[in-house]
Amino acid sequence: MRSSTARELVALDRAHVWHPYGPMPGRTGPLVVESASGVRLRLAEPAHGQSELVDGMSSWWSAVHGYNHPVLNEAARGQLDRMSHVMFGGLTHEPAVRLATRLVEITPEPLQHVFLCDSGSVSVEVAVKMCLQYWRSVGRPAKQRLLTWRGGYHGDTWQPMSVCDPEGGMHELWSGVLPRQIFADAPPAAYEERYADHLRALVERHADELAAVIVEPVVQGAGGMRFHSPAYLRVLREACDAHGVLLVLDEIATGFGRTGTLFAAEHADVSPDVLCLGKALTGGYLTMAATLCTGRVADGISKGEVPVLAHGPTFMGNPLAAAVACASIDLLLGQDWAQEVKRLETGLRDGLAEAASLPGVRDVRVLGGIGVVQLDHAVDMAAATEAAVREGVWLRPFRDLVYTMPPYVTGDDDLARITRAVCAAAASG
Ligand code: PMP
């Protein structure tokens, strides 16, 4: 692309296009990506001397196989020649059926039914709707509230926003308007019996009004990139069972291997009543998410006074996305993905170790394919982004966090480049 065209695009972008969590126009001009291949984003116009950037973000944690992958491209092309979309009401098709069946196969046994959604946030909306409707159907309509722990993030639509961290998070603005949910303290990194008792007490105290507990297992992502002991998931599972509350696990960020197990709840051997998946589901190619539930939840809804789950988006079960999702899951499970994630973990640990001694760094933590440097101050976004770009790497720091979640296909040299960039961004002021 000519650089004048790239500049024109940026000007039009700034005149007309909203970007995530931005004002209009955005504070800084975005970089124009012309194409992407493997782990590299190719820029339309060089930035700080770089025409290609190694992607340290996997496009918000979704592009686990990298870009322009021949197998995923082929799946998309093949499906495009058959049909890119058809409505899902009264009709079905092979990609959606294969995907749902595959998801049931690879998730814990009690999860048997799959609702295919458009995005992660919508999958959380559907999960909440399932839980509230389940209790209404079985004659407990007062069970309408949700319990979660502080520091979480579940998406940008209404119900998900109500269970995001209510303070300092992205949805503080709406705290007076959103449904009022019940919040436990943020989970400590290590297991503490005192905190487990706190969770048990809250579930017990609110059982009559609680439809479900909803949490991100093991890793809280956009709420602060914090890790916690998997043992808390067992505590929640037991408390939910003891007091008649459903357990929803949001594995939109952690699913498909990111934490070292296929699903993060496997670290605790816990199975939820409802499970949300998204992001890496399609290898980052297309927007699609899934809400899975047990036979008990589905039966409860389907035998209730209103015996249908009243949700059905226009692009539900989109064949193109479903075909790519099937190919992405096959690609992942057809290789030693656990070994690849382990390799990333080792590389991230080695490469980020030096960040611990940088001034202004509060904590360095790594789990699976997630590497986090937490500062003791708010990150200077512009300076940190520029420092990473100078190293030839794309990062998107936020709050006090500089972090990376690289594609699983990132080679050792590129991984070292990413960790150098994280350190440079963390040191940038
Ligand atoms: N839940 C979690 C745990 C997430 O990390 C995200 C996205 N960052 C969402 C839900 C929302 O997904 P989406 O952006 O696809 O709506």
Active site residue 134: no
Q: Identify the active-site residue in 273, 279, 408, 414.
A: 279
pLDDT in tens, 279-311: 999 999 999 999 999 999 999 999 999 999 999
Residue 292, SS3 per DSSP: strand
State the distance from the centre of ligand 1 to the C-alpha of 131, rounded, in angstroms: 19
Terminal-residue alpha carbon distance, the chain: 33
The model's confidence at residue 170, banded by pLDDT at 50, 70 and 90, is low
Q: What is the pTM of this model?
A: 0.98
The model's confidence at residue 4, banded by pLDDT at 50, 70 and 90, is confident
Q: Identify the active-site residue in 67, 134, 153, 232.
A: 153
Locus of tokens 């789990």? 367
Confidence (pLDDT) at 362: 98
Q: Across residues 30-52, what is the average pLDDT?
A: 97
Query: How many angstroms separate the CA atoms of 137 and 115, rounded?
Result: 19
State the distance from the centre of ligand 1 to the C-alpha of 95, rounded, in angstroms: 23
Residue 52's Cβ-side half-sphere holds a number of Cα atoms within 13 Å equal to 9
State the distance from the centre of ligand 1 to the C-alpha of 259, rounded, in angstroms: 16
State the distance from the centre of ligand 1 to the C-alpha of 290, rounded, in angstroms: 12
Contact 215, 252 (CB under 8 A): no
Q: Identify the active-site residue in 118, 165, 250, 273.
A: 250
Confidence (pLDDT) at 378: 97
Reference 123, options 338, 266, 321, 306; nearest CA is: 321
120 Cβ below 6 A of ligand 1: yes
Ordered DSSP codes for 81-121: HH-S----SS---HHHHHHHHHHHHHS-TTEEEEEEESSHH
Summary mean pLDDT of the chain = 96
Ligand 1 atom at shortest distance from the alpha carbon of 157:
16
Query: How many angstroms separate the CA atoms of 337 and 404, rounded?
Result: 18
Reference 271, options 238, 308, 244, 243; nearest CA is: 238
Confidence (pLDDT) at 385: 97
The model's confidence at residue 403, banded by pLDDT at 50, 70 and 90, is very high
